[in-house]
Amino acid sequence: MNVRELIEILASLPPVARVVVDDVEGVFDDVGFAKAVAIRGNANQDAHYYGPHLADDLQPWETAACIGAARTRGARLTVADMEADKARGIW
Q: What share of the chain is helix, strand, coil (3-state, %, to 5)?
A: 25, 25, 50
User: What is the per-residue pLDDT for 81?
Assistant: 74
- Quick: pLDDT tens for 54-73: 888 788 788 899 888 777 66
User: What is the per-residue pLDDT for 7?
Assistant: 92
H/E stretch holding 37 reads strand 31-40
Per-residue confidence band for 8, with pLDDT thresholds at 50, 70 and 90: very high
> What are the structural domain ranges in the chain?
3-87
Q: What is the pTM of this model?
A: 0.65
